[in-house]
Amino acid sequence: MLDIKFVRENPDIVKENIKKKFQDSKLPLVDEVIELDAKNRAAQQEADDLRASRNKLSKQIGALMAQGKKDEAESVKAEVTKNAERLAELEKINADLKDKILKIMYTIPQIIDDTVPVGKDDSENVEIEKFGEPVVPDFEIPYHTEIMESFCGIDLDAARRVAGNGFYYLLGDIARLHSAVISYARDFMIDRGFTYVVPPFMIHGNVVEGVMSFPEMDAMMYKIEGEDLYLIGTSEHSMIGRFIDQQIPEEQLPLNLTSYSPCFRKEKGAHGIEERGVYRIHQFEKQEMIVVCKPEESKKWYDVLWKNTVDLFRSLDIPVRTLECCSGDLADLKCKSCDVEAWSPRQKKYFEVGSCSNLGDAQARRLHIRIKGENGNYLAHTLNNTVVAPPRMLIAFLENNLQADGSVLIPEVLQPYMGGKKALIPNKK
């Protein structure tokens, strides 16, 4: 969310940013919110003047009563009463105007970074760099659920009976592999200086509104009926929410955190949710990384975060690439974002396995997260990035480590988390 003062003083910049995001329908909102802000400030000034007048008149009443001038005092009291009635009207006007302003400000997108390429949607995202050599073996790679089924490692039919489409049971070595990847990712991030956190898996509505845009909220979040609680779609929501209404001492920054959580998503409007697979699902687990830092440090941390994910995937022998998200593919709170994509030998192309985002001060402004500095308080910057998110990670892992005989090699770094196993041997041909 932008500062209303910035919008007021830089309407052309705000409008140009909206155009870059191909959201021209929002252009009238800029002039509308500036007009509402002017009315709000005028009403506020009048209210302040009335409060000052009330204090002055109250002193006059006391002085007149002390002098025995009761009639004059009553006249001044009548003026105070009239002012009080007007003040009550103005307070209501201010409250209504502030609600309207806030609603619009939640809709106007964050100013994107100058380096973000302009494009309408994800088809115009730009490849930055590839890491590792993509390989297409000389044998056919089965669909990922077929690989899992060869190890008796997945039961989609039972999950469908129990919970419907978009859920799964993982079993045996595949379930163990899932947990091993999460545990390895946790330790990988701890070794890089991040503090491990297990956060609440539900959050209040005001936290939801603080960490994401309304379209994202509607498409993603599950609400607990009858309660002001939502299931998190990613631990970033809960992790950033931890600092709501807080002043963080400057000397404690940056805060480098890595969190584990289950994630729950409606996937509203998603394509392929009915398909037999685990690429896009309603429930999964994820290891996340979050940074809260000074504004001048957020660009540096952005590069650190996405490189962490690349390094982790390469340590598991999975080729990856990074894509710069174009302006039209950025959620409204993001200044800059890139996707990490893993190589799929079966599809002979890359697919998304993580996303790194710099949100600038957008979340901090909504949640009132400030840094307490020597020269005053100021808004923090927040960033987040996926470390790993099985089962998408499992898809990439199984396809890239599958052998011609159906076995799956376990990279050396993961073997301690798999009880020393060097390979998974299929028990179902």
What tens digit of pLDDT does each residue of 147-158 get?
A: 999 999 999 999
Q: Are residues 373 and 409 in the same domain?
A: yes
Question: Has residue 268 got a pLDDT over 90?
Answer: no
CATH assignment of the domain containing 417:
3.30.930.10
Q: Are strands 381-388 and 283-293 parallel, antiparallel or unpaired?
A: antiparallel
Q: 42 and 159: one domain? A: no
Confidence of residue 82 (pLDDT cuts 50, 70, 90): confident
User: Distance (Å, rounded) from C-alpha 276 to C-alpha 401?
Assistant: 22
Q: Is residue 140 part of a domain?
A: yes
Distance CA(157)–CA(142), nearest Å, equals 19
CA distance 365 to 40: 20
| 85 and 192 in a common domain | no
Is residue 248 within 8 Å of residue 369, measured between CB atoms? yes
Distance CA 15, CA 32 (A): 12
Residues 98, 171, single domain; the answer is no
Query: Is a pLDDT exceeding 50 seen at residue 274?
Result: no
pTM over 0.85, yes/no: yes
Q: How many domains does the chain have?
A: 2
Q: Say which range, 54-63, 229-238, 256-265, has the weakest mean pLDDT.
A: 54-63
Co-location of 254 and 357 in the same domain: yes
Instruction: Please write the tens of the pLDDT for every residue from 280-317.
Output: 889 999 999 999 999 999 999 999 999 999 999 999 99
In this structure, the answer to whether residues 91 and 186 fall within a common structural domain is no
State which of 59, 75, 105 marks the end of a domain: 105
Domain around 20: 4-105
Q: Tell me 366's DSSP state.
A: H
What is the bridge-based pairing of β-strands 370-373 and 247-249? Answer: parallel
Same domain, 131 and 14: no
What is the full DSSP assignment across 15-35? HHHHHHTT-GGGHHHHHHHHH
What does the mean pLDDT of the chain come to? 92
**Residue 393 in tokens:** 């990670």
Of 57, 158, 122, 186, the C-alpha closest to 325 is 122
Q: Are residues 97 and 188 in the same domain?
A: no
CATH number (domain holding residue 48): 1.10.287.40
